């Protein structure tokens, strides 16, 4: 199985103005919790909006790929000299997630669904 683009995470200064664009203007259905919104785009891709204080300060937009073997993938990337910013860990919603920097320094989220 290869990686699949499943999610785009967008860090925002304030949730309401972002919702005015993504939910109200673009028409993406949204599920809301304090400081966070999950919107559903076409083809099953999710758009996560996080208020900036809940994300790494240098994260503005990050693609999220669902991958098999998250731990082994992160170990292999680190062995190649790649940076693992956040080591794999189980998140409150049940998925295991890690954040790495690609070869150009872009943050990329890697998720192994449970």
DSSP of 55-89, one letter per residue?
S-TT-SEEEEEE-S-HHHHHHHHHHTT-EEEEEEE
| 42-51 residue pLDDT tens | 888 999 998 8
State the pairing for strand pair 30-33/36-40. Answer: antiparallel
Q: Which two tokens stand for residue 94?
A: 């049940």
Contacts (Cβ under 8 Å, ≥6 apart) of 99: 56, 62, 84, 85, 86, 107, 108, 109, 110
The CATH classification number of 7-112 equals: 3.10.180.10
| 21-44 residue pLDDT tens | 899 988 999 999 988 899 998 888
- Average the pLDDT over each of 31-40, 84-93, 105-114 and give the range with the smallest value: 105-114
- Higher pLDDT among residues 84 and 58, named by residue: 84
């Amino acid at each position: 199985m290869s990686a699949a683009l499943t999610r785009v995470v967008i860090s925002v200064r304030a949730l309401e103005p972002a919702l005015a664009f993504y939910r109200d203007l673009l028409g993406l259905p949204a599920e809301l919790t304090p400081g966070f919104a999950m919107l559903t785009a076409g083809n099953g891709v999710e758009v996560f909006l996080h208020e900036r204080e809940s994300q790494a300060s240098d994260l503005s937009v990050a693609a999220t790929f669902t991958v098999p073997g998250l731990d082994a993938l992160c170990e292999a990337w680190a062995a190649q000299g790649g940076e693992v910013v956040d080591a794999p860990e189980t998140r409150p919603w049940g998925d295991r997630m890690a954040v790495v920097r690609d070869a150009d320094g872009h943050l990329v989220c890697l998720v192994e669904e449970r």
